[in-house]
Amino acid sequence: MYKAIDLFAGIGGIRLGFDQAFEKDIDTVFVSEWDEKAQITYRENFHDPFPIRGDLTKIREADIPAHDILLAGFPCQAFSLAGKRRGFEDTRGTLFFDVERIARFHRPRVIFCENVKNLVNHDRGRTFRVIRSIFEKLGYRIFYKVLNSKDFGVPQHRERIYIVAFRDDADAIDFSFPEAAGTPACIEDIMESREVSPKYYLSDQYLQSLIRHKKRHEAKGHGFGFEIRALDDVAGALVCGGMGRERNLIVDTRLTDFKPVTHIKGHINRDFIRKMTPREWARLQGFPDSYRLSVADTHLYRQFGNSVTVPVIRAIAEMIYENLRKSESARPEICKKDTIAC
């Protein structure tokens, strides 16, 4: 049984992918997530016998249980093209060094990280060189690849970098990233099966303001503004801020009751334009319908925009699992050295 810790856990997307890949051969022994609303969603879906810990910067390495696998979706805003891209100058960027200090103390066999595609090019590549150098000095062999979620059975164009670091005494020669998995899908495949609440449909006044906003930016040569996605196409990358929801609008003609259920200006638009629901966002990220959504929509949109695409994680985790098992068969001395998983 492999022991894992889940750092910057969010709502558990990385853990879920590893749980699916390792089936019953993995046990999460520690979770850290500072956002209280994310903690609520996490606890609704993972029933651990220990509490979720908060701010990782205030947790000593010695207070974290021994583990084989370190999972860390460390905050990406510091490196994102959509942000100020301050990198390690941003306090969120420095959280990577908490991954370093924990890995230095516990020496897990595998470290897994996910971040925005721009991490590779941030600060002319210097940021990523620092990360690689740190892992290598700690005694890890690093593999990384940018993968697109749409190649893994979900209809979302989402490019992210995935980093896998194997401790040097683990035989990682055969490790490779999956290129694709699952059946190609389109937005129609993830839509709610029944008519959704009128609250997800835009008001006519708000729609007109979006149209004016987009025209102003088009006049300046910008590509900003709302997007209506074709149902036989894929969604754009889910994001939690700005116009995150408005960049993935759809036309759903099933609405029969145009009476508003929330306070809006004007009337519900008659072009049947609506936002996707939180459940549809969950499906765009590959979360199963059994995954419980109990907090308000505003929090759910942020949580799924900040989360990961579970099928991508699962496909990578399957390759990690296969590699670990091969290493143990070929080099049983690893098991003798590591008493946690063996």
Note whether residue 293 is domain-resident: no
Q: Which domain holds residue 102?
A: 2-184+308-337
Exposure string for 62-74, b = 16+ CB within 10 A, e = fewer: eebeebbbbbbbb
Other beta carbons less than 10 A from residue 339's beta carbon: 8
Domain match, 131 and 203 both: no
Tokens of 332: 């049983």
Tell me which residue has tokens 């308000």. Answer: 296
pLDDT of 25 reads 96
| Residue where a domain stops, chosen among 225, 257, 276 | 276
Domain match, 203 and 139 both: no
| Residue where a domain stops, chosen among 235, 254, 276 | 276
Q: What is the CATH number of the domain that holds 96?
A: 3.40.50.150
Domain match, 177 and 117 both: yes
Which residues are paired to 201 by β-bridges?
A: 274
Note whether residue 320 is domain-resident: yes
pTM, two decimals, is: 0.91
Average pLDDT, 10 consecutive residues per value, the chain (342 residues)? 96 98 97 97 97 94 97 67 46 72 96 90 82 92 96 97 91 83 96 97 96 87 86 94 85 97 95 97 98 96 96 97 85 60 61
Note whether residue 342 is domain-resident: no
Phi/psi of residue 73, nearest 5 degrees: -90, 65
Note whether residue 291 is domain-resident: no
Note whether residue 303 is domain-resident: no
pLDDT of 342 reads 59
| Residue where a domain stops, chosen among 276, 296, 326 | 276
Note whether residue 301 is domain-resident: no
Domain match, 241 and 93 both: no
DSSP state string for 221-270: T---S--BPPTTS-BPPP-SSTTTTGGGBEE-TT------SS--SS-B-T
Domain match, 140 and 198 both: no
User: Which DSSP helix (H) or strand (E) runs through 165?
Assistant: strand 159-167
Contacts (Cβ under 8 Å, ≥6 apart) of 245: 275, 276, 301
Tokens of 255: 């609405």
Phi/psi of residue 61, nearest 5 degrees: -55, -40
Other beta carbons less than 10 A from residue 20's beta carbon: 18
Tokens of 327: 């290493």
Residues catalogued as catalytic:
76
Domain match, 221 and 167 both: no
Residue 198 near residue 258, CB atoms below 8 Å = yes
Note whether residue 287 is domain-resident: no
Note whether residue 299 is domain-resident: no
Domain match, 112 and 242 both: no
Q: How many domains does the chain have?
A: 2
Contacts (Cβ under 8 Å, ≥6 apart) of 32: 5, 6, 7, 8, 9, 52, 53, 54, 55, 56, 59
**Beta strand 2-7 with 69-72: parallel, antiparallel or unpaired?**
parallel
Domain match, 71 and 144 both: yes
Domain match, 63 and 128 both: yes
Tell me which residue has tokens 């670990």. Answer: 324
Residue 285 near residue 310, CB atoms below 8 Å = yes
d(C-alpha 31, C-alpha 101), whole Å: 16
Domain match, 167 and 220 both: no
